[in-house]
């Protein structure tokens, strides 16, 4: 079974731009979660989707948004990028049990 | 208050020796789960081991075992027979939340991590 895939793996943007990151979960997994990892704040939960519905949301500004499609693939969007948005963005999928399987991440650099 | 505390920013261990990575947690939920993940320099989070709050036995997965002491709210990871490839960041995480129909409704809260270095 293929693992969680994230595209792109690396991204460089400038302040004020917007960005869309994509995550394809493991086949059959309906839950997708997003996390932001920075050296200062560590790993922080962004949001979780299940069957196209956002079930849980972390403490991030409204510039961070996401969605999930009927095939469980998920996208997250960050508008009006700030320097502090530079981070590794990790996506995780779950079959609905206790485990979450992470993808390799997208490393976003904002200049 | 931090929900997950990992007090060891860095640890060193000799190859083939055992090492314990500390994790304490704080929750008022009766039902919760505790996880350990490994993150090599490549960035991918690798699931190692899981312990449910109602599990009476300590979880084990190969060379990994979780020393779960519920009353002390600790969930330490023990790696036996360390290998050079074990050098990485290790994160303890907790799941709180309710089980919903068709799946779990939860998020993971992570600790700050422990950087483990295995010396030859």
Which DSSP category does A40 fall into? Answer: T
> Residues of chain A whose C-beta is under 8 A from some C-beta in B?
30-31, 33, 35, 42-45, 48, 50-51, 55-56, 58, 88, 90, 92, 94-105, 107
Average pLDDT taken over every residue of chain A: 93
> How far is B43 from chain A, CA to nearest CA, in Å?
6
A and B: number of Cβ contacts within 8 A: 70
Please give the pLDDT value at position B30: 87
pLDDT digits (tens, 9 = 90+) for B97-108: 654 444 455 688
Please give the pLDDT value at position B20: 98
pLDDT digits (tens, 9 = 90+) for B28-61: 888 889 999 999 998 889 999 999 999 989 999 9
Among partner residues B44, B104, B109, which is closest to A104 by beta-carbon distance?
B44
Is a pLDDT exceeding 90 seen at residue B96?
Answer: no
Q: What is the biggest distance separating any 2 CA atoms in chain A, rounded to whole angstroms?
A: 39
What residue in A sits closest to B101 (Cα-Cα)?
A96
Please give the pLDDT value at position A55: 87
> How far is A59 from chain B, CA to nearest CA, in Å?
12
* Average pLDDT estimate for B108-113: 94
Lowest mean pLDDT among A66-70, A97-101, B111-115: A97-101
Please give the pLDDT value at position B115: 97
Report the first-to-last Cα separation within chain B, whole angstroms: 38
For residue A7, the tally of other CB atoms under 10 A from its CB is: 13
Name the percent of chain A in helix, strand, coil, to the closest 5.
5, 55, 45
Selected for mutation to probe chain A from B38, B43, B46, B66 (highest A CB count within 10 Å) is B43
Q: Which residues of B touch A98 (CB under 8 A)?
A: 33, 50, 52, 95, 104
C-beta atoms of A104 and B43 within 8 A: yes
Please give the pLDDT value at position A2: 79
Taking the C-alpha atoms of residue A12 and residue A23, their distance in angstroms, rounded to an integer, is 18
- Residues of chain A with pLDDT > 70, as a percent, come to 97
pLDDT digits (tens, 9 = 90+) for A6-48: 999 999 999 999 999 999 999 999 999 999 999 999 999 999 9
* Average pLDDT estimate for A64-70: 96
Among partner residues B42, B50, B112, which is closest to A42 by beta-carbon distance?
B112
Is a pLDDT exceeding 80 seen at residue A58?
Answer: yes
Strand bridging mode B114-119 / B10-14: parallel
A8: preceding bond cis by omega (within 30 degrees): yes
Taking the C-alpha atoms of residue A92 and residue A100, their distance in angstroms, rounded to an integer, is 6
Q: What is the CA radius of gyration of chain A?
A: 13
Q: Which of A46-55, A92-101, B99-108 ranks highest by mean pLDDT?
A: A46-55
pLDDT digits (tens, 9 = 90+) for A82-91: 999 999 999 9
Among partner residues A56, A88, A94, which is closest to B43 by beta-carbon distance?
A88
What are the backbone angles phi and psi of residue A85, rounded to the nearest 5°? -85, -5
């Amino acid at each position: 079974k293929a693992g969680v895939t994230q595209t792109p793996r690396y991204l460089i943007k400038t302040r004020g731009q917007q960005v869309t990151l994509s995550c394809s979960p493991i086949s059959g997994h309906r839950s997708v979660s997003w996390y932001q990892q920075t050296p200062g704040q560590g790993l922080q939960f962004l949001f979780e989707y299940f069957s196209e519905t956002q079930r849980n949301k972390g403490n991030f500004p409204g510039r961070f948004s996401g969605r999930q499609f009927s095939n469980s693939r998920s996208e997250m969007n960050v508008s009006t990028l700030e320097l502090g948005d530079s981070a590794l963005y990790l996506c995780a999928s779950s079959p609905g049990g206790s485990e979450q399987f992470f993808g390799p991440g997208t490393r976003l650099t904002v200049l | 208050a931090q929900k997950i505390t990992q007090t060891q920013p860095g640890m060193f261990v000799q190859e083939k020796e055992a090492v314990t990575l500390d994790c304490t947690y704080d929750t008022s939920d009766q039902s919760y789960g505790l996880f350990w993940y490994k993150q090599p320099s490549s960035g991918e989070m690798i699931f190692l081991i899981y312990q449910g709050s109602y599990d009476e036995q300590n979880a084990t997965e190969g060379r990994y075992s979780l020393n779960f002491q519920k009353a002390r709210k600790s969930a330490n990871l023990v790696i036996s027979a360390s290998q050079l490839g074990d050098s990485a960041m290790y994160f303890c995480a907790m799941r709180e939340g309710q089980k919903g129909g068709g799946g779990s409704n939860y998020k993971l809260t992570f600790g700050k991590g422990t950087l483990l270095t295995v010396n030859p």
